[in-house]
Chain A
Amino acid sequence: MFFLDHIWLIPLLPAFGAAMMFFFGRKLQKATVNAVCVGVVVLAFLFACGAVWQYTDYAHSNPGKPYQTIVYTWLGTDTGHMNYVMRDGKPAAFQADVGFLLDPLSAIWLLFVTGVGALIHIYSTGYMAHEGGYYRFFGYLNLFMFSMLTLILGNNYALMFVGWEGVGLCSYLLIGFYFHRHSASTAANKAFIVNRIGDAGFLLGMFTIAWYFGSLRFTEVTHAARSGHFAIGDPIITAATLLLFVGACGKSAQIPLYVWLPNAMEGPTPVSALIHAATMVTAGVYMVARSNALFVLAPTSMKTVAIIGALTAIFAASIGLVQNDIKRVLAYSTVSQLGYMFLALGVGAFSAGVFHVFTHAFFKALLFLGSGSVIHAMSGEQDMRNMGDLHKRIPITHWTMFIATFAIAGIPPFAGFFSKDEILWQAWSSEGGAYRLLWFIGFITALMTAFYMFRLMFLTFHGRPRMSHEVEHHIHESPKSMTVPLVILAVCAVCAGWLGWPHSLGGSDRFAKFLEPVFAHEARVFQEEGKTAQLAAGEKEEEHTSPIEYGLMFLSVGAAVIGWGMAWRAYREADKGYVEPIAAAAPPLYDVLYNKYYVDEGYDYAFTGRRKVGDSRLGVMGLGEASSWFDSHVIDGLVNGAGWTTRAFGTLTNWWDKWIIDRLLVNGPATLSRVMSYPIRLLQWGLVQGYALVMVVGLVYFVCLMLGLSLWFWLSVGSLALLAIGYLLLRYLMRRFAT
């Protein structure tokens, strides 16, 4: 089992390529860069084929068991320092290893990621031949391959998150590849920041799982979830799965975190093809599929996934109807198709969702690479209003893109029909009237998909030529390095669907059978839930292939054909001044769709604070501004107020001290004494005989008192005293005023 035992080489090969570019890239020739970077990815693909081949052997002898190999323990020790307590009180050790898990789910992803990745690398050698930063581009692409492979091969949530972050980083680096362009660097920021919001949800979900299950390994978590120990509708599992889904919304561009994907078209076209069509955006789907055991235990989460998936599908498709940039239409198409995948996962049709990921990878990569070829031929023109009548001039591009358009519209026997139809059938046949509504949303979306894709084809390749003469002269078919991958992908777009040829049409649906070990348990549980509800309601059990399935198939093909026909009528003969039918019929609707429902503007108001209402910001930034205002006016006001109060108090104390304490209480008694002394010191005549007289008068009064003598006696003596007073007074005055 060479390939299985050395499965860790698969991510390591592109990592080696990236490292080479990092250290030596600047000095290398273009040919060397090609040999190293493209070579490692092609090698990785071959290696992956070998590993999956050997896995099928392994699966024969170990039915139902995934292949797991642990290289070393990354997080967690034997010392017990990373022990924690689980929710139910049991102790657990936090452990995350660098380990690789290969089971049918990751095998599928492994094959198409390396396969489509290799084709896109080859394509890029032709597309980026005249661009600067050649080695940087391939270094980032290889780094991306390494991260994506880590993501899908990891055996635990922590290692998956390493890959998750890595692809986010590479998305940023590659979207902002032409960083001199302001729009490109802004788009890169937007992608990374919105992604990060999802990452927060992913992390919280991961922590909840670690806390609740005591382990992060997929095998252990799945085993615990399937053990029947947990009730369906367990609130903590619901919370964990919802948080994980938030992460998926960020990475796989669902409402409300899809806004970065249309702007991500600023990157070079191979980047759009690889990252934003085939591989990175499917990481969210992979993660939800990997956690299917948990999601099945939380019907609320499943419903949420389905509803958001369906809404995103129709929402993005409606915006894609009126966009003029060829890559933007494809970007919204990607968001819409991802909505389909989540719709599938949400109604319990896991293998249908994975099947759609598989087929979508081929035809979407083909569409993007084809559009890159068109742009290359048009000397950089991306606006479809300035294209037209290219089908004779770039025939290979035209025919390959046409095949891809048939595939995405869901026309049999091309790939998209089988996967999309399976999803719609599963949605219809789920229990509950709401699921019929979801089917209807999917149905309308299919019609819209066909319409905007054929609109793209007709505007680009048919009609009258609307480009300038300069550009018209330079139109040429792309080099072999670009057209060969297109052809290979076209073949896949035709044939890939046949792997999932449904039972109802006589096929054996090998795809679903291959995935059985991963999803069978869940499908059974889900269907049993459904069947019990059905039996409880007293309805008859559905037959294995009911006529309704054929009817729905017919309807969805009909929708695709109707969409094709509408686009034919509106755009086949499009000339210079062609009119958009929606703009003619309902101009306000056209404005809303063209401006993407003003969601970006709404986010500017609510979250980024780049747009203000009057003078103030709303949302989170507004809260920040309000807090700032509060801080500077109220809090600082209080502080200043405290200071003012202290100073005022000081002034008051000063006044009190000066006037009350000093003047009243200190000087007061002094003044009182002084004032009182004025009359008192008049007693000090300085006349000795006067003092003697007073003594005598007192003595006489006292004697009279003691002896009880009458007042007359006293007065008579007193009159003598008066005489004496008079005499003394005379004497004094004469002394004073004589001479």
Chain B
Amino acid sequence: MAPIGTLHYLVVAAALFILGVIGVLTRRNVVIILMSIELILNAVNLNLVAFSRIWGLHGQVFAIFVITDAAAEAAVGLGILIAFFRNKETVNVDEVDLLKW
């Protein structure tokens, strides 16, 4: 077997990214969509860390930032979800259709 190179990391990250995107696009439950978004973000993190091995510590520092950002975003997203749930009693994303013509 070849040694684990950067490419392997990138492929894994890409796969995770794609899975995350598919989840965002396809899942009905808003909570699952939020989880998929986390998945996307973590995939990006992987990418960053993989490249930091080559190009320096900038990648890892940026990954810390992204993690913090993801956490904040999840909090806000869940807050929106809870506010929406209080109004509409559902977590089905198909029911989030008020802002349309």
Contact = CB atoms under 8 A, between A and B. Distances in A.
Contact of A735 (B26, B94, B100): B94
Contacts of A586: none
Interface in A191-239: none
Interface residues of A, number: 17
Interface string B82-99: 000000000001101111
Contacts of B1: none
B55 to A, nearest CB: 18
A724 B101 CA distance: 23
**Of A682, A684, A688, A727, which is in contact with the most chain B CB atoms at under 10 Å from its CB?**
A688
B2 interface: no
Contacts of B15: none
Contacts of B61: none
Contacts of B31: none
A688 to B, nearest CB: 5
Contacts of B76: none
B94 A696 contact: no
A60 interface: no
Contacts of A520: none
Query: Chain A: interface secondary structure?
Result: helix
A727 B26 contact: yes
A553 to B, nearest CB: 133
B25 A684 contact: no
A686 interface: yes
Contacts of A687: 94, 97
Contact of A724 (B25, B98, B99, B100): B25
A681 B101 CA distance: 6
A684 B100 contact: yes
Contact of A692 (B24, B99, B100): B24
A685 interface: yes
A673 to B, nearest CB: 14
A731 B97 CA distance: 14
Contacts of A727: 26
A655 interface: no
Contacts of B100: 684-686
Q: Which of A686, A724, A727 has the most CB of B within 10 A?
A: A686
Contacts of A696: 21, 24-25
A319 B21 CA distance: 135
A681 B33 CA distance: 26
Given A684-B100, A685-B100, A686-B100, A724 B22 contact: yes
A689 interface: yes
A686 B25 contact: no
A17 B96 CA distance: 128
B38 to A, nearest CB: 15
Nearest to B24: A692
A579 to B, nearest CB: 122
A728 B25 contact: yes
Contacts of A688: 93, 96
Contact of B25 (A681, A692, A735): A692
Contacts of A732: 94
A686 B97 contact: yes
Interface string B47-82: 000000000000000000000000000000000000
Nearest to B18: A720
A681 B100 CA distance: 8
A739 to B, nearest CB: 13
Contacts of A693: 25
A689 B97 contact: no
A647 B94 CA distance: 64
A688 B33 CA distance: 11
Nearest to B28: A731
Interface string A709-733: 0000000000000001001100110
Contact of A689 (B25, B98, B99, B101): B25
Interface string A672-690: 0000000001101111110
A684 B24 CA distance: 19
A724 B26 contact: yes
Given A681-B101, A684-B99, A684-B101, A689 B93 contact: yes
B50 to A, nearest CB: 18
Nearest to A721: B25
Interface in B21-46: 21-22, 24-26, 28, 33
Given A688-B96, A696-B21, 6 more contacts: A685-B100, A688-B93, A696-B24, A731-B28, A731-B94, A732-B94
28 contacts: A681-B101, A682-B101, A684-B99, A684-B100, A684-B101, A685-B97, A685-B100, A686-B97, A686-B98, A686-B99, A688-B93, A688-B96, A689-B24, A689-B25, A689-B26, A689-B33, A689-B93, A692-B25, A696-B21, A696-B24, A696-B25, A724-B22, A724-B25, A724-B26, A728-B26, A731-B28, A731-B94, A732-B94
Interface of A: 681-682, 684-689, 692-693, 696, 724, 727-728, 731-732, 735
